């Protein structure tokens, strides 16, 4: 296959993951949770794509599909140009070392019976990288990198706080110096100072080692800080994708606007226990389910700007004219209305 050096490291096209639903008493298949339902994006080497969106919209599932911990029910996952969507365990082995995952749930992703040293060293041990004592030294170095003490080496996961466990997962993901890290809420369990430290660290390894990131997070300020481009997901689909400055400076999709309006900031609170009344756009209306998404635009049941066409026609993800031209939106009204005379 001809190699373009501009070809993205990762390219996802028409990605689907439907989970079958068991039906009541009979275990017959009655439908499916359409967790990921037609997603396209790409990530270049050494760059980061932020992925944000409503809880349950399919972000973790997307991440797991990219890391091939799940097999898609449709679409392609091209890594270095090769479709790994249905690759076998053996075919995946070399790719596994290059794509690492930091898990959203630091509790269930760490084996409770292994010490921290064993957990972080596992990827090195499996590949027999260096001597045992070199590996131990490397693990200690990794622990220090993520701000843990060397004394933690022989402890078990239950002896750690939530944030400490998250850092164990980060150390493990960095062990093999991967090419792509799928980071699923990597810093949401951390206090803001350690969060800042880890974000700086991830940015540094990105620069030094050229690691690309799929960075899933709900903290929009962190995503803005970390990601070159940002995708916004809603109910299994991407509704907006743009360069960071575009997305935050000129959001076009009503869901993105609602998200940005709801970010709480520390110095804006009223301090009397009342939520800040700022211009938060409250989403009302029915929360749709991925089992049975609404017709037309999936956001229409809660969209403040929905019109008749939204119920009948699904808006495709299309470029909108902007300063940089790197802005895709799936909304019938993404372009500003011509100024009324």
Partner 1 sequence: MTPPSVQSGPFLSVRDLQVRFATEDGVVRAVDGLSFDLRRGQTLGIVGESGSGKSVTSLAVLGMHDRSRTTVTGRVTFDGTELIDATEKQLQSLRGNRIAMIFQDPLTALSPYYTIGAQIAETYRRHTGASRSAARARAVDLLGRVGIAAPGRRADDYPHEFSGGMRQRAMIAMSLVCDPDLLIADEPTTALDVTVQAQILDLLGDLQREFDTAIILITHDLGVVANTAHEVLVMYAGRAVEHGATQQVLTRPRHPYTEGLLRSVPRLHSDVDEPLVPIPGSPPSLLAVPAGCPFHPRCAHRERVPGDDCVTRRPALAEVGHAAACHLPEEPREVLAQQHLQP
Ligand X SMILES: Nc1ncnc2c1ncn2[C@@H]1O[C@H](COP(=O)(O)OP(=O)(O)OP(=O)(O)O)[C@@H](O)[C@H]1O
- Contacts with ligand X by CB under 6 A lie at 19, 33, 35, 55-61, 104, 158-164, 191, 290
**DSSP-derived secondary structure for 105-170:** -TTTTS-TTS-HHHHHHHHHHHTT-S-HHHHHHHHHHHHHHTT--GGGGG--GGGS-HHHHHHHHH
| Inter-residue contact 232 to 57 (CB < 8 Å) | no
Nearer to partner 1 by Cβ, of 24 and 316: the residue is: 24
| Out of 14, 20, 74, 162, the residue judged to bind Mg ion by CB under 5 A | 162
Q: At what angle do helices 116-126 and 162-174 cross, to 10 degrees?
A: 20
Nearest-approach distance from CB 210 to ligand X, in angstroms: 27
- When CB distances are held under 5 to 8 angstroms depending on the partner's kind, the choice from ligand X, partner 1, Mg ion, none that residue 324 binds is none
For partner 1, which is the closer residue by CB, 86 or 278?
278
> Quick count: other Cβ atoms within 10 Å of Cβ 218?
15
Give the nearer residue to ligand X in terms of CB position, either 57 or 175.
57
Least gap, CB of 241 to ligand X (angstroms): 16
CB of 217 or CB of 320, closer to ligand X: 217
Q: Are 17 and 35 in contact (CB under 8 A)?
A: yes
Give min distance, CB of 221 to partner 1, in A.
4
Least Cβ distance, residue 216 to ligand X (angstroms): 7
**What is the residue whose two structure tokens read 């365990």?**
89
Nearest CA to 94 out of 8, 200, 178 is that of 178
Give the nearest distance from C-beta 253 to partner 1 in angstroms: 13
Choose among partner 1, ligand X, Mg ion, none what residue 307 binds, the Cβ cut-off being 5 to 8 Å by kind.
none
Q: Does residue number 109 form part of the binding site for Mg ion (CB under 5 A)? A: no
- Residue in the structure block whose two tokens are 């009324």: 340
Contact positions toward Mg ion, by CB under 5 A?
60, 104, 161-162
């Amino acid at each position: 296959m001809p190699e373009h050096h501009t070809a993205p490291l990762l390219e996802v096209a028409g990605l689907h993951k439907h989970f079958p639903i068991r039906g009541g008493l009979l275990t017959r298949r009655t439908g499916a949770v359409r967790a990921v339902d037609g997603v396209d994006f790409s990530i270049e080497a050494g760059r980061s794509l932020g992925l944000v969106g409503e809880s349950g919209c399919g972000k973790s599932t997307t991440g797991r599909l990219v890391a091939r911990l799940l097999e898609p029910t449709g679409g392609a996952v091209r890594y270095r140009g090769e479709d790994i969507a249905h690759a076998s365990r053996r075919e995946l082995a070399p790719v596994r070392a290059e794509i690492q995952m930091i898990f959203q749930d630091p509790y269930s992703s760490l084996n409770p019976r292994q010490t921290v040293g064993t957990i972080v060293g596992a990827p090195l041990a499996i590949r027999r990288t260096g001597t045992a004592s070199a590996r131990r030294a490397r693990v200690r170095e990794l622990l220090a990198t993520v701000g843990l003490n060397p004394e933690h080496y022989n402890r078990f996961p239950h002896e750690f706080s939530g944030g400490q466990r998250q850092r164990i997962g980060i150390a493990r993901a960095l062990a093999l110096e991967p090419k792509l890290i799928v980071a699923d809420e990597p810093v949401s369990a951390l206090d803001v100072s350690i969060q800042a430290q880890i974000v700086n660290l991830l940015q540094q390894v990105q620069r030094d080692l050229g690691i690309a990131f799929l960075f899933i997070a709900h903290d929009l300020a962190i995503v803005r800080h970390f990601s070159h481009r940002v995708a916004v997901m809603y109910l299994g689909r991407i509704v907006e994708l743009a360069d960071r400055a575009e997305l935050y400076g000129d959001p076009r999709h009503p869901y993105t606007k609602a998200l940005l309006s709801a970010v709480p900031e520390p110095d804006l609170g009223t301090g009397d226990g009342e939520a800040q009344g700022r211009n938060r756009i409250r989403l009302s209306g029915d929360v749709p389910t991925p089992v049975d998404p609404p017709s037309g635009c999936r956001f229409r049941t809660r969209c403040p700007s929905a019109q008749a066409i939204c119920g009948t026609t699904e808006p495709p993800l299309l470029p909108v004219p902007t300063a940089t031209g790197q802005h895709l939106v799936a909304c019938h009204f993404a372009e500003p209305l011509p100024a009324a005379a």
